[in-house]
Chain A
Amino acid sequence: MEELSLNRRGFLKGSLSAAALLAMGFNPVSVFAEEDFVKLTILHTNDVHSRIDPFPMDGSRNQGKGGVAPRATLINNIRKEEKNVLLLDAGDIFQGTPYFNYWGGELEIKMMSMMGYDAAIMGNHDFDNGVEGFAKQLPHAKFPILNANYDFTNTTLEGKTKGYQIFNKGGLKIGVYGLGIELTGLVNQQQYGETKYLDPIKKALEMERFLKQDQKCDLVICLSHLGFKYRENKVSDIVLAQNTYFTDLIIGGHTHTFLNTPESVRNLLGKETLVNQVGFAGINLGRIDYIFTKEKKKKITYSSAIEVIENNFKI
């Protein structure tokens, strides 16, 4: 028992600089007993806007950037290195290149399925061919469309999207829910039809409580197309992060915001919620790695004990 405890001390000391371990290409199998850590890799895009080819080499700012085929290579390479990968998209899959004008998003959705996307949400431009236009491409999606705050009753999308999805990865339970932007004033009614927009904050509180408290998810992610932040008083990812309790990560879109590192926001529990967004057109693939430690489910308080001790051991 003594020896075991000492080993455990070493493990805790080592874990103090988990960031450094990550930077060195942290491998839980070789460094520690596998069951001590689980690593989750979240990959994400937003506002890809039908950008299938890389930007052409015409001297413009983004020339040579983006492209589904290079992105797929990168994703495949990461999947070879990491066991637990979630690949997510925060909406505006459609509209922006002639691929959409000619095939209505069929290629975009088919190739997202081929890349193994786990979930996506609808952005405002995903309504550009109407609710029917999106519904038409849905059979090509091998991943769920998550939109908790759009009520599609009496539209062709009724019953074809979900509010949330729970993923099980390496023993982890990850809850993902989706939020869309207000359509009035952005999308013409002839496109969104009878779709009803529901208050995103209210819906987020409902979703996160369900995923965290009822479903006991280890991580709660919001896929959002609300936009990063606004000068005027309008709901955004930042506002959402400040007004929720259990959402650990918000992957955003709409404002085409290029963030080099995610924004850290204090939520209603005073804890950190990360907000990320990686520009547009598939120029960037975002990646966030979470390392989880295992604890006893019954005695959740142990987690805080370990936190305190870590601080004492800080080198």
Chain B
Amino acid sequence: MKFKFLIVALTALLLQACGVHYHVKNTQKQIYPISADFPADVTLSNFYKPYKQQLDSIMNDVVAVSAKEIQKGKPEAPLNNFFADAMYVSAKVKKIQFDFAYTNYGGLRTSLPKGNIPRYKIFELMPFENAFATATFSGQIIQEFFNFLASSGGEPISGATFTIENGKATDVKINGEPINLEKNYTILTSDYMINGGDGGEIFTKAISKKVYDYKLRDGLLDYLSTFKNKNQILNPVNDGRIKLK
């Protein structure tokens, strides 16, 4: 019966030629991994070669040497700690007033390789033109701020420690001291965060904010140059600044 229907349907199809409509019959999906082993398209590689040469001449100098590949992770990780510590140290050198440093985990854009770290790696780690900024909160709000850091499972910080318990921050210490509700605290971060980037609505509760004419990337490079000048190998570690309970 169905076969007969088929014949009828097909005959009808064959007899009517105009006004074609298409119907999806089948789909197939494929992924092509792309690698440098694949022959490069000459038109494109020739096109961008002059730009590449220009970058290579300014981006390949070694800015630091690392003992290991430095990766990000939660609740803390060597890359998180390196980044936040670099912010802390470089901002102190620039006499910026603050209590502790924080940057958003999503802003760490790549890991750093073991051995020589070329300048372009710092551009890839921190590609954004974000500037240092500070935000001051009352002691009442600061616990809420640490809960914000705990809610995502841990964020890069320097100059503070806490424990994540049921998604909330406990045992918060700022420069070794528990939170004093009567005191105001100033957080060092980026202009991106104080303007509410990456879910930072909490920054609308700040008493005051300030943006500095100093890029985060330059802060990282300044911090690394102190290692290089002292012939020190970069080796950031986990030190328990954020614990999980």
A residues sitting closer than 8 Å to B (CB atoms) are: 1, 4-5, 8-9, 12, 15, 18-19, 22-23, 37-38, 50, 52-54, 57-61, 64-74, 76, 95-103, 107, 110-111, 114-115, 128, 171-172, 184-190, 216, 218-219, 248, 260-262, 274, 276, 278, 282-300, 302-303, 305-306, 308-309, 312
Contacts and interface: CB of A to CB of B under 8 A. Distances in A.
A190 B133 CA distance: 15
B5 A305 contact: yes
B7 to A, nearest CB: 6
B27 A289 contact: yes
A18 B28 CA distance: 9
A36 to B, nearest CB: 10
Interface in B20-35: 20-35
Nearest to A71: B34
B192 to A, nearest CB: 6
A23 B51 CA distance: 41
22 contacts: A5-B10, A8-B10, A12-B6, A19-B26, A22-B28, A69-B41, A69-B42, A69-B45, A70-B34, A70-B35, A72-B40, A76-B41, A96-B109, A97-B120, A98-B55, A100-B127, A111-B44, A286-B30, A286-B31, A297-B19, A299-B16, A312-B3
B13 to A, nearest CB: 6
Contacts of A22: 26, 28
B211 to A, nearest CB: 11
A102 B56 CA distance: 12
A54 B36 contact: yes
A303 B6 CA distance: 11
A74 B27 contact: no
What band does the interface of chain B fall in when counting residues whose beta carbon is under 8 Å from A? 35 or more
A186 B201 CA distance: 10
Contacts of A68: 41, 44, 48
A12 B30 CA distance: 25
Query: Ordered nearest first, which 9 A-B pairs have the shortest CB separation?
Result: A72-B41, A69-B40, A70-B38, A18-B26, A54-B36, A297-B19, A292-B22, A297-B21, A58-B113
- A contact patch SS: mixed
A98 B123 contact: yes
A107 B13 contact: no
B32 A74 contact: yes
Nearest to B5: A305
Contact of B23 (A72, A128, A184, A295): A295
Contacts of A60: 69, 110-111, 113
Interface of B: 2-3, 5-7, 9-14, 16, 19-45, 47-48, 51-52, 54-55, 59, 69, 109-111, 113-115, 120, 123-124, 127-129, 191-192, 195-201
B9 A306 contact: yes
B34 A99 contact: no
A289 B27 CA distance: 5
A116 B9 CA distance: 41
A27 B5 CA distance: 29
Nearest to B30: A287
A230 to B, nearest CB: 12
Given A111-B47, A305-B6, A284 B12 contact: no
Contacts of B114: 59
Contact of A69 (B14, B25, B44): B44
A67 B37 CA distance: 10
A295 B21 contact: yes
Contacts of A102: 51, 54-55
B33 to A, nearest CB: 6
Nearest to A262: B29
